[in-house]
Structure 1
Amino acid sequence: MTTPPTDQALERQLRVHEFLTARGWTLDGAREPGETWFANDPRAGWRYPASYGGTKINDVGDTTPVRLQAYFTFGEDGKEVFTVVPAGNLQGSGCAEHDTTERFFPFTADGTVDLAGIAPLLESWEPRAQALDPRALIECRYFGPCKE
């Protein structure tokens, strides 16, 4: 059973949804904003389908490079945060150019996501995600860091 969102969470989810879909992102998972509190549903979030030039990649557990994605989750302190993951290899298994880590964005004092602060990051992460070659990422991960 999922928890329904509070009014504040619903408004926050809808603002993020409108912001990201206007940039060409799509909703991931089976739920629309308002159907569930996104932080309680690990499949709910958004992805940038133009990642890797729009190439379809089969998802194989921790092996497949991640697409540019965003979701609500809980930070180390247990508070809900908004997270963006740039496209690349998770877990620090490749070179600095291809590695990626989650970026956590705490809510503002009024409980919103600072979309104006995130927009400049997406301005650089979206073109990078489009240009990345998934084959190069996989080779980097399994055959050693690039340029060795």
Structure 2
Amino acid sequence: MVINEDTWKLVTTDSINQLLRVKKDIDLEGFETLVVVKYNFHVADDIMFPDPACLAFFTAFEKNHLEKLEEESFLKLCAVDIKEGVMKFYIYCKNYEQTIDQLIEFLKTNSLYECEFEVSIEDKGARLKNLI
């Protein structure tokens, strides 16, 4: 995954098997509900990171879909966490039902990557603060 150093920062964690990146400047005003997109990937090595095809699909998800929706002020992608077989996208939004519908539009393009959604209504950044 390509990381724009101006926008994202890598967060130091206590696990060698974790890559956590968080947006540097996060303004959640009006975006109070958290939607976490979770993908459980097959761990094929000791490092426990996704295979290149999986990374390519989710990089396209982020770059081609999430960034466009963020530019339209539809949602805010705030963090991406890859750890021990699970990839999570932390997305804040105004309307979680519409957001999930928009996310499914892209995710259904490849049936190999079935995702789960977790919703925290009126989270207001609490889970993100606990993450970092």
Fold equivalence (TM over 0.5): no
Q: Normalising by structure 2, report the TM-score.
A: 0.38
- Higher strand proportion (structure 1 or 2): 2
Q: Normalising by structure 1, report the TM-score.
A: 0.35
Which is bigger in relative contact order (C-alpha 8 A, separation at least 6)?
A: 2
- Higher helix proportion (structure 1 or 2): 1
